[in-house]
Structure 1
Amino acid sequence: MSENGEEKLLAVARHIAKTLGHNNTMSDDIFQILSNFDGRFSRENLSEKGADVDPRGCAALDHSLKSLDRRISPYVSSDRTIWADAADSAAFLDAVDELVAVVAEWNHLASDKSVAACLVRAEDMLQHAMFRLEDEFRSLMERGGEAFDLTRSHRKGDSAGNLPFESDEDVDEEEEEARNVGIGGGDEEEQIPVALPVTDFDIVIDALPSGTINDLHEITKRMVAGGFGKECSHVYSSCRREFLEESVSRLGLQKLSIEEVHKMTWQDLEDEIEKWIKASNVALKILFPSERRLCDRVFFGFASAADFSFMEVCRGSAIQLLNFADAVAIGSRSPERLFRILDVFETLRDLFPEFEALFSDQFSVSLRNEAITIWKRLGEAIRGIFMELENLIRRDPAKIAVPGGGLHPITRYVMNYLRAACRSRQSLEQVFEDYGLKEYPKLDDRVPSSSSLSVQMDWIMELLESNLEAKSKIYKDPALCYIFLMNNGRYIVQKTKDSELGTLLGEDWIRKHAAKVRQFHVHYQRSSWNKLLGILKLDSNGSMPHINLAKSMKEKLKSFNTVFEEICKEQSSWFVFDEQLREEIRISLEKILLPAYVNFVARFQSVPELGKHADKYIKYGTEEIQARLNGLFQGSSGSTGSRK
């Protein structure tokens, strides 16, 4: 075929494609059919830049744009809300659809000057239409929120209910034992406006009416098709972000900087942590999922736009929650803060599956990473608190003795603290396993077979015992030194038994330290009562004259009475806090003292020179001895202390 003939053939093909192809999809199909029929009828050949544009086609384009302008301009310039009338909104959307289609249809012929001029007009019309759609989108969201009951919610798959902001009355009133020893919590003073208390979190909030959501979706489709998807997301995010931040604010959570958190009193910070825990649960289990659901409905079919919009809506509130947790994590490592920091650690850990599921898209990577980092930082803070507890035990001065050898405050504090801490055993094990073991002097034999937490607890107990041994040396009387060690050792064993602390330390540890207490008991008897028993010891020399024997026994009995009275007077002011231990000591004293005394008195009465006047010298009967022993270890005022 001649070159001229081929050109005519291509011109005919272009005319066919132009005439039949009213939209992009139809045009693509026609070009594909022609190309398959003859290789010369490819899209490149039929649409090449040098091809002539039919003037009648340009005229048709101009006519279409003028017609669309007449239909669109009244809506764009109108002061009345288009979506106030369903017919107006439908007509406006139809006109926008046609305008978008015209621009797409003629865009590939933009190299032609006349077509380009028409397209400039079309793009200008499209831009104004998009601006108006943006205004309508914003108006729908604002009016929809105002007209709709924002406290309306429903259980997933169930009927409507109330917005379930948690009530202050749901706070557990039980205080940790250790919190009563300088580690306390407080009740919130402010009553936050709330609806019904939360019983579970299987709830979503319908923040907009279903009809409004459908209208928003229709506008979204046009704005995305018109190249204004980002603008649509921006308007949506700004409106919903305000609603979400107001919802979080209603939960009582303030926007606080790290510096402001660190300047708060501990009581105020405890109150804020309590509010933070409630707000985090409601946000991650109710508010954020509801926003995710709304985003997915408005931006249905546009996954990337939905993800981006959701992240923009929730990022500020999510960062507010994370920043508060971070401020707590990098704050003071004072031991009394452990329990509240554990609360924050556990809350963040338990909510992380929800956090990860909600913020799983590409736009939220940094947010997920930040949540993990802050959670780990909380773990570091918990470990740091235990290090500070170790330092507190080491620094506790050994200059002042507890009157009567009673319980030392450091013993009560540490044991109640560890018992309370071990109620969060799972969390603590997670913390110490994640950060591995440090080197603990004298405990290397435990490391291979023990968890990191049990080794940590063992080490703290080792420090406490060393501290108590140093304190015991303040007492000048060795017997009182052992009473002090018995008291504190018995308390340690009792607090360890039947608790998570005992489970961590193990039965062998408990048996070993119970044996230590018994050994202290033996040392006490030897240091205090051996002298008295020595006095009662009878002379085995049978050749001693009776007159000398009588004199010796009178002196022994006199010495016994004096020493016994001195011991009883002194030790009646000493204190043994545990009634069972006190009884054990008395019984053991009776067992060693009464037989020796009875034997001595019998021998005394058998001496002829003494027997007739025995009552003159024997001051105590066995019942009086028992009575005096029963008066021991009652303690004077201020020496007993608390045994809790």
Structure 2
Amino acid sequence: MGERVASDVPSREIERHLLAAAEHLFMAMDECADLSGDARRVISDLQSRLLTKPMHPGRREEFFRETEERLKQSEKVIMDWEASRLMICELGEAERNGYLDAVVEIRRSIESLGKVDPFRIVKQKETFLRAERVLEMAMSRLEEEVKCILGRCKQTYEPRSMSFRSPADNLVFGESFSSVEDNPVDSPRREFEAVDLIRPDMIPVLKAIAKVMFDSDHGPEFCRAFIGARRDALHEYLAGLGMKQLSIEEILGLDWDVLSHEIRNWVRVMWIVTGFYLVSEQNLCNQVLAEFGEFASAAFLDISKLSNLTILNFSKAIVMSSHRPEKLFGVLNMYEVLADRIININALFSEEECSSIRIEFHDFLVVLGDYARATFSAFRNSIESDHSHKPFMKGGVHPLTSYVMNYIKTLCAYRATFDVLFRDEQVCFMCPSLVAEDMTEDEPTSPLDRHLQSILPVLEANLTEKSILLDQHALKHIFLMNNICYMVDKVKGSDDLRCCFGNEWIRKQIAKYQQHATIYLRVTWSCALMNLRESGYAPGSSAPKPRARAREKCRAFCLAFEEVYKLQTGWVIPNPQLRLELQIATSQKVITGYRAFLGMHKMDIDDKYIKYTADDLESLILDFFEGSNRSLPHANSRRRYPQHHLFTNWPAFSNAQKAENQRNFP
């Protein structure tokens, strides 16, 4: 008996030292947030040796009673919580910690019961199985808690300072549209920071739940709940941004108005999602799952698949569609935003298992560039192949001209991107003779300049073909004059285009439309002014008397003027400066000759035979090129017209110029 007591003393002393060492070990573990692999292996080995060491029968019964008691207390906490149906996110920190501590205690009890000597009594086995059932119930509850926290406590954020608008919104052939100078494009903010996608106070709660579930071998269940909830949040967020989940077939079937809107929205979504949302999502995954190895990167990859699929599916559908010229600006916007975000995409998906995503985005950037080049070629081809058979009766600016000029003016907003895409592409000049005449190739130009310089000769050649459809020879020159003047005005009004084409091109084009104006004057008025010239008569012919001849010439001239007036008041010159200049030139040519004729025959023609005075005609010329046909009465209408006196009211024409004009007319 004495020997047994003596042996019990050192055992109790050893147990006391073991308990003290265990307390120090637990304190050290609490202070060390991240244990090394070696430390974890040592502690695990120690735990295994302690649990598998055979217990004294008396000590085994005592251990079982203690475990049973702790299990009952923890089980009560879990069952009470289950009955109340309260959620962790609705309670305070103390209640949450109490529940999680109870779950941890049950897990420890299961581990202890399972590693002690094989079950020797039925009650021990029943306790073990009961503890497992309670733990499974707790795990299911915690899985629901994860979904609840991520659902109720999510936060959405959209950078309000980011605005997206294409310089060529609603660009359609046949319509004038505002250029980039008229509608400046807001530059989106390029600096992004991660934001909190759920309430910050819930991050520690999620981490605690994750630790409990991973320690209980339910890590996959936690990840399933976490990924599912974050996928739903991303789906909801994309829907809030207006990004529809459309199939490629549905996208290809969209009307252009709808598709252009979707392209603009895609650019905006691409900025927001890759710029800050996925950064924030990755940050959330790391905050919650970083300590569990590769689960963080795997969860982020799984969550982001939805956005990647949506973004790439839409863009793939775009490049599968036809190369309509109006798509170029949208495609360039897509290319720019993707090129800008490639660095961020590389950082987001830097892990080896994400390499396929990086490669897909890089490959698609190349595809977008190819599509942009093909679309620009389609634009150039469409100019050459536009063979409209409907004559442009009033001779104004053709829709093709306004479309092309606004198109290339808008294209200048994409100079940097265009120069990258077309750096190595040779320019195909479809009208080399016109290029050689109009362009100066002495100075090196950018790819954009070279390609734009290849466009206008094609446009001018097409306009020349269209002018052939016009019946009146004079109207052909009005038509070409209007369109070339419009081209010059567009180039002069844009610093980018002026730099591209140069002042020499502008001077040559001005000379061209002035030449058309000169030809118009000759073609229109030569026949009418012939009536005011003295004509000879063959010997023996019965020439009219001078008085009758003068009256007949005056009458014929007025009739010719009326025919021109009736026709050319319906023609149009949209540029008010050009219209006034041509009216003045017409007045100088016509009125000068008419005044000289009346002065020469003032003794032969009485006032009653003069249908229009020179002042009347000068006023009537102001009705020319207004686009509304008018007719003049045949009765004497002298002095019924307001007097404008173009010669005296227009300072641009000096007396020397007037004299020069007068010498050119009879």
TM-score over 0.5 for the pair? yes
Give the C-alpha shift of residue 485 in structure 1: 0.8
Determine the structure 1 residue equivalent to 2:508: 512
Selected match of 1:335 from 320, 325, 330: 325
- The whole-number CA distance in structure 1 between the counterparts of 2:455 and 2:132 is 71
Show the counterpart of 2:461: 466
- Measured after TM superposition, the shift of residue 137 of structure 1 is 5.4
- After the TM superposition, which of the residue ranges 514-523 and 272-281 deviates more from structure 2? 272-281
Task: Kindly indicate whether the alpha-carbon contact (under 8 Å) linking 1:100 and 1:226 is maintained by their aligned counterparts in 2.
Answer: no
Provide the residue aligned with 2:376 in structure 1. Answer: 386
- Which residue type is aligned with residue 524 of structure 1? Y
* Paired position in structure 1 for 2:446: 451
Deviations 1:197-222 (A, max 9, x none): x9996561241553x53354356567
Q: Deviations over 1:153-187 (max 9, x none)?
A: xxxxxxxxxx33478998879985846955999xx
Instruction: From the superposition, tell whether residues 169 and 239 of structure 1 become closer, same or farther in structure 2 (CA, over 3 Å).
Output: closer
**Unmatched 5+ residue regions in structure 1?**
1-19, 30-53, 106-123, 152-162, 186-197, 606-610, 639-644
Q: Which residue of 1 aligns with 2:157?
A: 164
TM-score, scaled to structure 2: 0.66
**Structure 2 counterparts to residues 523-542 of structure 1, below 5 A:** 523-537=519-533
Once residues 174 and 141 of structure 2 are traced to their aligned partners in structure 1, the CA distance between those partners, rounded to angstroms, is 61
Tell me the alpha carbon deviations over residues 287-307 of structure 1, each in whole angstroms, 9 at most, x when there is no partner. Answer: 322222211111234564322
Q: Bigger CA drift: 581-590 or 165-174?
A: 165-174
SS at match of 2:195: strand
State which drifts further: 389-398 or 132-141: 132-141
**Partner of residue 148, structure 2:** 143
Pick from 195, 204, 209 the counterpart of residue 204 of structure 1.
Answer: 195
- Conservation of the 8 A alpha-carbon contact between 1:292 and 1:358: yes
Instruction: Name the CA distance, whole Å, in 2 between partners of 1:398 and 1:578.
Output: 24
Question: Equivalent residues in 2 for 1:85-96 (5 A)?
Answer: 86-87=97-98, 89-90=100-101, 93=104
Q: Please report how far the alpha carbon of residue 437 of structure 1 lies from its aligned counterpart in structure 2 after TM superposition.
A: 3.4
- CA shift digits 1:297-352 (9 cap, x unpaired): 11234564322221111122222122222223322332343444444444434444
* Cα distance in 2, alignment partners of residues 27 and 233 from structure 1: 23
CA contact (8 A) 1:183 1:337 kept: no
| Alpha carbons of structure 1 residues 467 and 213: separation in structure 2 relative to 1, 3 Å | same
Q: What are the residue-to-residue correspondences of 1:388-407 with 2, within 5 Å?
A: 388-407=378-397
Selected match of 2:567 from 557, 565, 570:
570
- Corresponding position: 1:633 with 2:638: no
- Whether the 8 Å CA contact 2:569–2:627 is kept in 1: the answer is yes
Deviation at 1:598, TM superposition (A): 3.6
Contact 1:345/1:375 (<8 A) preserved: yes
Contact kept? 1:482, 1:520, Cα under 8 Å: yes
Could you give the per-residue CA deviations for residues 368-403 of structure 1, whole angstroms, max 9, x where no partner exists? 222233334333333333333334333333422122
Distance 1:340 1:173 in 2: 7
Give distance in 2, aligned partners of 1:431 and 1:27: 55
Q: Counterparts of 2:37 and 2:404 in 1: how far apart (Å)?
A: 78
1:113 alignment partner in structure 2: none
Say if 1:599 and 1:401 are closer, same or farther in 2 by CA, change over 3 A.
Answer: same
- Determine helix, strand or coil for the equivalent of 2:627: coil
Letter of the 2:475 counterpart:
L
1:579 aligns with 2:599: no
Structure 1 residue 129: Cα displacement? 11
Distance 2:361 2:109 in 1: 47
C-alpha distance 28-363 of structure 1, shift in aligned 2 (>3 A): closer
Q: Which moved more, 1:78-87 or 1:241-250?
A: 78-87
d(CA) in 2 for partners of 1:55, 1:274: 66
**Residues 1:177 and 1:419: Cα distance change in structure 2 (over 3 Å):** farther
Q: Does 1:323 align with 2:313?
A: yes
State the Cα deviation string for residues 560-607 of structure 1 (Å, max 9, x = none). Answer: 4444443334333322222211211122223333444444444445xx
The answer as to whether partners of 2:571 and 2:624 remain within 8 angstroms in 1 is yes
CA distance in 2, matches of 1:494, 1:344: 31
Q: Is the contact made by 1:150 and 1:207 (CA closer than 8 Å) also made in structure 2?
A: yes
* Separation of aligned partners in 2, 1:395 and 1:377: 26
State how many pairs are aligned: 545
- State whether structure 2 residue 257 is matched by structure 1 residue 267: yes
Q: Which is worse superposed, 168-177 or 495-504?
A: 168-177
Residue 345 (structure 2) aligns with: 355
CA pair 267-573 structure 1, distance change in 2 beyond 3 A: closer
Q: 1-side partners of 2:607 and 2:177: how far apart?
A: 62
Residues 577/267 of structure 1: CA separation in 2 closer, same or farther (3 Å cut): closer
Q: 1:331 to 1:575 in 2, by over 3 A?
A: same
Amino acid of the structure 2 residue aligned with 1:149: C
Q: Is the 8 A contact 2:485 2:513 kept in 1?
A: yes
In structure 2, what is the Cα distance between the partners aligned to 1:637 and 1:562? 16
For 1:287, the equivalent position in structure 2 comes to 277
1:366: how far off? 1.8
Equivalent of residue 290 in structure 2, options 300, 305, 310: 300
Residue 622 in structure 1 maps to residue 614 in structure 2: yes
Q: 1:153-232 residue pairs with structure 2 within 5 A?
A: 163-165=156-158, 176=169, 178=171, 204-208=195-199, 210=201, 212-218=202-208, 220=210
1:491 maps to which residue?
486
Normalized against structure 1, the TM-score is what? 0.68
Distance in 2 separating the partners of 1:183 and 1:129: 73
Q: 2:637 corresponds to which residue?
A: none
| Distance (Å, rounded) in 1 between the aligned partners of 2:56 and 2:198 | 43
Contact kept in structure 2, 1:446 and 1:455, CA below 8 Å? no
CA contact (8 A) 1:575 1:635 kept: yes
CA deviation string 1:120-140 (max 9, x = no partner) = xxxx99999997896465334
SS where residue 259 of structure 1 aligns?
A: helix
Equivalent positions of 1:236-251 (< 5 A) are: 236-251=226-241
- 2: CA distance between counterparts of 1:406 and 1:432? 34
Contact 1:217–1:300 under 8 Å retained in 2:
no
Cα distance in 1 between the residues matched to 2:493 and 2:56: 89
Give the Cα–Cα distance (whole angstroms) in 2 for the partners of residues 313 and 459 of structure 1: 48
Change (3 A) 1:269 1:28: closer
Structure 2 residue runs without a partner (length 5+): 1-20, 26-35, 43-48, 83-87, 89-94, 116-128, 179-188, 631-666
Tell me if structure 2 keeps the 8 A contact 1:393–1:467: yes
Within 2, Cα distance between the matches of 1:482 and 1:240? 67
Residue identity matched to 1:258: I
**Residue 314 (structure 1) aligns with:** 304
1:251–1:279 CA contact under 8 A, matched in 2: yes
Matched, 1:258 2:255: no
Spell out, residue by residue over 1:384-431, the C-alpha distance to the aligned partner (whole angstroms, 9 max, x if none): 333333343333334221223223232233333333444444444444
- Which amino acid in the other structure matches residue 576 of structure 1? I
User: Can you list the C-alpha shifts for 1:431-462, whole angstroms capped at 9, x where unaligned?
Assistant: 434x7334223258767722222233233322
Tell me the CA shift for residue 223 of structure 1.
Answer: 7.0
Judging changes above 3 Å, is the alpha-carbon distance between structure 1 residues 410 and 55 closer, same or farther for their aligned structure 2 residues?
A: closer
Letter in 2 for 1:378: L
Corresponding position of 1:8: none
Contact 1:99 1:126 in 2 (8 A): yes
Q: 1:406 to 1:302 in 2, by over 3 A?
A: same
C-alpha distance in structure 2 between counterparts of 1:27 and 1:571, whole Å: 98
